[in-house]
A and B are shown apart, each in its own frame.
Chain A
Amino acid sequence: MINKTVTNVEEAIHDIHDGATIMFGGFGLCGIPENCIAALQKRGTKNLTCISNNAGVDGFGLGLLLATRQIKKMISSYVGENHEFEKQLLSGELEVELLPQGTLAERIRAGGAGIPAFYTPAGYGTEVAEGKEVRVFDGKPHLLEHWLRADFSIVKAWKGDTAGNLIFKGTARNFNPMMATAGKITIAEVEELVPAGTLDPNHIHTPGIFVSRIFQGEQYEKRIENLTTL
């Protein structure tokens, strides 16, 4: 039986090189690969191009890699909660490409689906449209957007099995399933790793074929950005 298991986070990220393009799953701090991010910081891999909806917060998530200047470029849709990010952006240290969230999601989905480009109405008439082909469909202008692919995709799932199948929980799913399909090498860290045959195939969100390596994360802080209760 195919076995995608690696023993630990160090083995999972061992070949991520300086200058790599990496997709990171997560929305805000929800569903981010905490263990891989911490290990990348420890390893000091630099000049990274990171594709992620957000850029973490100061001191957590991708904020860790920003603080150590390991990120050269970010491709994101919303980066509002990170002062270090704003500082590096305004000073010109950090390259940033901001995209409409749905365009970002679809470009990643396209990258993983073998679709090189598509048209979307989002961003027409805005800065996002600069340099992009415009075509009218059904009387409405659309922008040509290209697929996004990465050297590595790093995703976080709730449960996974040794065959690489993944199940996500709650809103921690977000960008993870699309990113899992769009990496040349996809690394999945999971809260619970079980033997193949344990998970019901009906419940799998990401089929194991998309996953190159899987391991169980040592611990998850799951920091909450805005705790709101009744």
Chain B
Amino acid sequence: MALDKYGIAKRIAQEVKDGYYVNLGIGIPTLVANYIPSDIQVMLQSENGLLGMGPFPTKDKVDPDMINAGKQTVTTIDGAALFNSAESFAMIRSGKIDLTILGAMEVSEQGDIANWKIPGKMVKGMGGAMDLVASARNIIVAMQHTSKDGQSKLLKTCSLPITGLHCVKKIFSDLGVFDVLPEGGFKLLERAPGVSVEDIIQATEGMLIVEGTIPEMKI
């Protein structure tokens, strides 16, 4: 069985290490916050100007002046800091963020990512995604492996407008976990529970590298 979005978020949470500053994109990445182990200390960065984002507020603590990049009402944790948008992207561009987790519409075997525009159909804008992918040291992607009509989203080259080139290091899809190799190609590391290597080969258009026995992921 392929993972649902919560399953993907749960698996990604294992990549978050003690002491990390982490930026979570909108969508599945936002869910990762719910599964970070309670015994590690992590600072979540929200690019609208908050470091140390806490959980959603209780009803009586809602503050319209305290939102995250997804415009959801949030709280701060002890040690949090507030700042302006230029400072926020200074921390992003200067490589201070340890881990960046983004959603994607497509990723190429070269590590290119497309997640901001569908020509003629959807024009939402790139928000902070282009700054993040151009500068962050460690970019991982949470995504569905295939589109609703079964087309692979792990491609040889992206068909949609690019957000950034050669930047994705690792992919967590509903079918498995993949390294994007510096020389190109998706190296299969783990299978989702009940998903076979054959299923993954069928669902992947880009170059897939399968070496030895592929373990089932633990979540």
Contact = CB atoms under 8 A, between A and B. Distances in A.
Contacts of A86: 123
Counting contact residues on chain A (CB < 8 A from B), the size range is 35 or more
A221 B161 CA distance: 38
Given A127-B161, A226-B72, A109 B62 contact: no
Contact of A171 (B49, B57, B59, B120): B49
B199 to A, nearest CB: 32
Contacts of B100: none
B107 to A, nearest CB: 14
Contacts of A177: 84, 86
A106 interface: yes
B73 A224 contact: yes
Contacts of A89: 123
B216 to A, nearest CB: 33
Interface residues of B, number: 50
Given A169-B65, A224-B62, A228-B73, A79 B93 contact: no
Interface in A106-137: 106, 108-109, 120-128
A126 B71 contact: no
A33 interface: no
B144 interface: no
A127 B164 CA distance: 10
By CB atoms of chain B within 10 A, which of A172, A175, A228 has the most? A228
Interface of B: 46-50, 55-59, 62-68, 70-74, 82-86, 88-89, 92-93, 112, 117, 120, 123-131, 134-135, 161-165
26 contacts: A27-B67, A77-B126, A78-B127, A79-B123, A98-B126, A102-B92, A105-B84, A109-B86, A120-B93, A121-B135, A124-B134, A125-B112, A126-B130, A126-B163, A126-B164, A128-B130, A170-B65, A170-B82, A171-B49, A171-B66, A173-B83, A222-B64, A224-B64, A225-B71, A227-B62, A228-B56
Closest 3 A-B residue pairs measured CB to CB?
A102-B89, A102-B131, A170-B65
Interface of A: 27-31, 53, 76-81, 86, 89-90, 96, 98-106, 108-109, 120-128, 158, 169-178, 205, 222-230
